[in-house]
Amino acid sequence: MNTTDARTAGVPPRAAGYPSLGTAGVVIGVLFAVTLMAQLDRQLPALLVRPLRAEFGLSDTAFSLLQGYAFALSFTLAGLPLGRWVDRSSRKLLILAGLLFWSAATALFAFGRSYEELLLARVGVGIGEAVLAPAAYSLIADLVPSYQRGRALAIYGVSLAIGSGASLLLGGWLLAAIPAEGLHVAGFGDLAAWRVAFLAAAAPGLPLALLLMLAVREPARQHDTAVVAPADASSLADFFAHLRRHPGCFARLLAFPSVLSYLGYAALGWAPALFERSHGIAPSRSGVVLGVLVALAGAAGMLCGGAWSDRWLAGARPAARLRVALLGMAVASAPALLWPVLPSAALGFGLIAVMVFGISLAQSAVPTSIQAVFPNRLRGQAFACYLLMSGLLGIGLGPTAVALLADRVLPREAGLGMAIAMAAAPAVLLGLWMLASGLRPYARCDAELNPTAPARPGSAG
């Protein structure tokens, strides 16, 4: 729909130039499916601590590197140049290339014969997935006007929760269904259950690549009503100049998501092992329970966060979207500290669900908060920067911090649960401080960079 057609049809001027709701829905649906598939292998290693340790002779610390930094370092470092490409190139083709690359790397993990080969495969997965989030968030910002963006991004964000839950469900189901001696796969011979799980996670790659090519069209780049040509993409110097305008705001905005990632990966990366060691629940059972809880609680948190942030924004609350993040952090804090040290497995599962709801509630505010204070030509780099910190301090450090506390600091009788709780405590305090102290800096930044931002049609102001 062009600008003239939109205005003559009575569409609010700020929505002019955006594609139709049906077109936006199709693209978001495809991105949802691709992102869900990308999450399938994220939590699989957490269910496979015992077989991987037994086959390759790994310590908890060595396993945490496989689960965390092998993926996180490549994911975050590759994201920096890829974020610049997102601001300059076809986002559809970048996602397609990344999808094929990480699918191949996930399949190669299933055939790893040494610890080093497994590490290299995880590095490949990280490189492939690094382009997805910056490109997807950039596309959605050009599909949906800002007053609807919270809900649109929340719907897309549900794929993260369902994908993480599906990863645990897939692993738990396969571990329960496949005999202990493994499974004969045509063309591949006899494979252990953990290898079959990774092959299953890689399988949707080719069908989704075909769907992406057929169903997604590259939308025009927009900043509200202003179409931004690809030639207007800014340099790295322009990006850092933008950061220097409001360092107090941007430092918190780009760093606080790493706290959410840290808490989530520290908990879910070791939850199956904790329930097995402390409560005698096999990963094949805990994986199914955790998968359902993570999918339901995460989806609920994302959808509530998106709806509330749009509503609070329409009500002209200062730093409306960041307030949703603060609420989510407050909800997640106590459960993150308590679930691993409770004597009851049922209470532990319940508090994990509350924690995941809170983390997802906070996470839903991240993309819309960033998009509000970065122009279109800088958003790919902004998301790459936030993913850099989330990867290094969250995905990588979360599981590793727990392992180091359990292996090197705490006495053996203290247990894995105490290590998880101790690893979570400083992150909880830091996250609450960053968000509470960041509301005013963010509100000032938003007011300066968007001085004439129109209200949602039909609302006051």
pLDDT at res. 337: 96
Which three-class secondary structure state does DSSP give residue 288? Answer: helix
Q: Is 247 exposed, middle or buried (0-12, 13-18, 19+ CB in 10 A)?
A: exposed
pLDDT at res. 433: 95
The list of the chain residues with pLDDT below 50 reads 1-14, 224-233, 454-461
pLDDT at res. 334: 96
CA distances from 21 to 134, 145, 331, 383, 420 (A): 22, 10, 33, 25, 44
pLDDT at res. 345: 93
CB–CB of 371/118 below 8 Å? no
pLDDT at res. 437: 93
Question: Mean pLDDT score of the chain, rounded to an integer?
Answer: 82
Which three-class secondary structure state does DSSP give residue 371? Answer: helix
pLDDT at res. 227: 39
pTM, 2 dp: 0.73
Handedness of CA 248, 254, 258, 259 (dihedral sign): positive
CB–CB of 402/269 below 8 Å? yes
The domains of the chain, with CATH numbers, are: 14-214+227-449 (1.20.1250.20)
Tokens representing 377?
Answer: 């030509």
pLDDT at res. 349: 95
CA distances from 78 to 31, 376, 380 (A): 20, 21, 13
Handedness of CA 163, 128, 196, 207 (dihedral sign): positive
Strand partners for 323: none
Q: Which residues contact 163 (CB under 8 A, 6 or more apart)?
A: 35, 36, 37, 38, 39, 40, 42
